A and B are shown apart, each in its own frame.
Chain A
Amino acid sequence: MRCGVQSCRAGLAALAIAVSAGVAAADPVKVGLVATLSGPSAVLGQHMRDGFLLAVKEMGGTLGGQPAEVVVVDDELKPDVAVQKVKGLIERDKVDFVAGVVFSNVMGAVVKPVTGAETFLISGNAGPSTIAGAGCSPFFFSASYQNDQNHEVLGQYAQAKGYKKVVLMAPNYQAGKDALAGFKRYYKGEVADEIYTQLGQLDFSAELAKVAAAKPDAFFTFMPGGMGVNLVKQYRQAGLAETVPFLSAFTVDETTLPATGEAALGFYSGAAWAPDLDVPANKAFVAAFEKEYGYIPALYAAQGYDAAKLIASAVKATGGKLTDKDAVRAALKKADFASVRGNFKFNTNQFPIQDFYLVKVGKRPDGKVETMIAEKVFAEDGDAYADKCPMK
């Protein structure tokens, strides 16, 4: 069959309408799930999507007792593409919730179109400071964290540990600068060097030589995705792992550990969750996830799972009457679900108040490598921007 892009799309749209019309009789809950599913960072979106869909599957294809229809879209890590697709979700698919979004720049672009249309946006990962602070919205809920918090965990840990001198390193873009600022909010010792690298840099040998020359007590970095894999391997190969503790955020987790393997053993990260977190809901989640997908979930998967459970709790509490926005919002705000993170409630800015941990890469009895809880660093921690949010 040959067809142009436009006519093909029309055909697919007609098919989608036909399918949804068949289910519409039961008045389904429609959720648009936005995730980065192509490009080098696709693995993050894959974790989040799988976590979300696992929750829906476990609830028998429903959300809060109503049949669920999840429309998964790929934002391609391009803000303009994301806006276009989100508008399609709202105007064409008429979704009740938009969930997901891995990256903050994508979130920055879609938050206005979604909340402006009075549709609830449940973040499965991104938590930029703008939305946590003055730009907060009654239609925005975060099922994840505020971006700075994970970095603050390491800053607090380095301070408590009494490290006198550290070297910091991050890619030269906004999130990288925010990361180092978050670390320094709690760390008060000497920063011997702040190294900014190119985004997407492959080889860190020049930077690692500088780290070795500075002889710090610890090294903190934010190096997401493949950059982190390269850095971890090269850090180990340079022999620095034995002498300078490796503190990081969003650098060693279950999305990168399959590639770094044992090179990352003993490396630290900060997170609100780890696969071995001792909460009954989490034990069940991790076991079910590994059985379903055959890989260990990362925090993105846990957050996607919680986002689905959060939506389900609100649908249940309102009896499926999703047109009453105030009632839905009040129900969401209660966070009446068993989070895989244990402690979980919403702050005034509708970001979570939760515990944060230092996690350390370790080996499980079956030989696989994962992050493991080392110690609790912050208990019931709200973010630094909630005060700036006018909502009460």
Chain B
Amino acid sequence: MSTTLVLVQVLNGLQLGILLFLVAAGLTLVFGVMDVINLAHGVQYMLGAYLMVTASAVTGSFWLGLPLALAAALVLGLVLEWLVIRPLYGRDHLEQVLATFGVILFVNEGVKLVWGAGPRAIPMPEALSGSIRLMDGLNYPVYRLALVAAGLAVAGLLYVLVTRTRAGMLVRAGASNAPMVSALGVDIGALFAKVFAFGAMLAAFAGAMAGPILSVEPGMGDGLLILAFVVIVIGGIGSIRGAFVAALLVGLIDTLGRSFLTDLLKLVLSASAATQAGPALASMTVYLLMAGILIFRPRGLFPAPA
């Protein structure tokens, strides 16, 4: 187990963490500000990827396709908010879960009707299709580094947006006391709609960016949604900063667990037992981390002020 391999795996972990952050940021925003559990966030990620499939095919360019796909995702987010989410404000979380779960089923089948059941692909932009040699026999695609950069840029942008702008101030105010904001003359309905659509667009951005390295297929967001929920619970619901730290933590723990746990277990167990236990344990590490953190910080690492 060389130092190079460890460093490569750390880089892989960070990159997975960044992807998780892109998905989790919108989720935590919607949950924190609007108090809506949006299970449909995963399909919004998927829709982003599918819209990007079409947009990049129609325009013939990744860079022209991306803004088109994001605009379409924003509009779809507004439509979804108007159709499904708006009647659910102030209702029980269970009802929100049921309704948004229905959206998952609906959209997963819907994309199959529109784009077909088979996996689709988004071509990688020419400028980023190169790779760097990280270690003997292994290249690291430049695109993955670009993904990391894009994730960091989004994190920075969100930070400025939430802490330094008037819109961000309203969002923070809405998160701590929505009726009061409304009483002060702010159209809280419009604010919620914007936040929701923005969250949808963030998810779509993650989907569109992930498309060139992952397969675009029905249900692609379902597994990621669970991890995104783990991230926002660890980070503290509603906290962008928490989501960022937690996403990197989850990405690192998951990747390092997958990479080295079996080998580490081989030091104490027999080879066959380690091969049995290693992968099982590796798939649990993220949840063990969550359980551990919740024991000491029941409201997550960066809880929103009550």
Contact = CB atoms under 8 A, between A and B. Distances in A.
A113 to B, nearest CB: 27
Interface stretch (A40-48, A90-98, A375-383): A40-48
A239 B259 contact: no
B140 to A, nearest CB: 7
Contacts of B279: 172, 196-198
Interface residues of A, number: 42
A159 interface: no
B12 A215 contact: no
Given A40-B218, A40-B219, A205-B12, A233 B137 contact: no
Contacts of A259: 118-121, 215-217
A212 B136 contact: yes
Contact of A243 (B137, B216, B217): B137
Interface in B239-291: 255-256, 258-259, 275, 278-280, 282-283
A300 B5 CA distance: 39
B30 interface: no
Interface in A181-229: 194, 196-198, 200, 202-203, 205-210, 212-213, 215, 225-226, 229
A75 B303 CA distance: 44
Given A209-B259, A240-B138, A200 B223 contact: yes
Interface in B97-146: 108-109, 112, 116-121, 131, 133, 135-141, 143-144
Contacts of A207: 258-259
Contact of A239 (B5, B138, B223): B138
Nearest to B212: A233
A202 B223 contact: yes
A43 B258 CA distance: 29
B169 interface: no
Nearest to B275: A194
Contacts of A230: 213-215
Chain B interface bracket (under 10, 10 to 19, 20 to 34, 35 or more): 35 or more
Most B CB contacts (10 A, CB to CB) among A197, A233, A237, A240 go to: A237
Most B CB contacts (10 A, CB to CB) among A198, A202, A225, A261 go to: A202
Contacts of A196: 275, 278-279
Contacts of A240: 137-138
Contact of A43 (B16, B119, B139, B216): B119
A229 B119 contact: yes
Contact of A226 (B112, B215, B255): B215
B9 interface: yes
Interface of B: 2, 5, 8-9, 12-13, 15-16, 19, 108-109, 112, 116-121, 131, 133, 135-141, 143-144, 212-220, 223-224, 255-256, 258-259, 275, 278-280, 282-283
A-B interface, 9 closest residue pairs, ranked by CB to CB distance from nearest: A239-B139, A229-B215, A212-B138, A259-B119, A196-B279, A42-B117, A43-B118, A212-B137, A40-B219
13 contacts: A38-B109, A46-B117, A196-B275, A203-B16, A206-B258, A212-B135, A229-B119, A230-B214, A234-B213, A255-B118, A256-B118, A256-B215, A259-B217
Given A200-B223, A239-B139, 7 more contacts: A40-B220, A203-B12, A203-B16, A203-B19, A205-B12, A229-B121, A238-B139
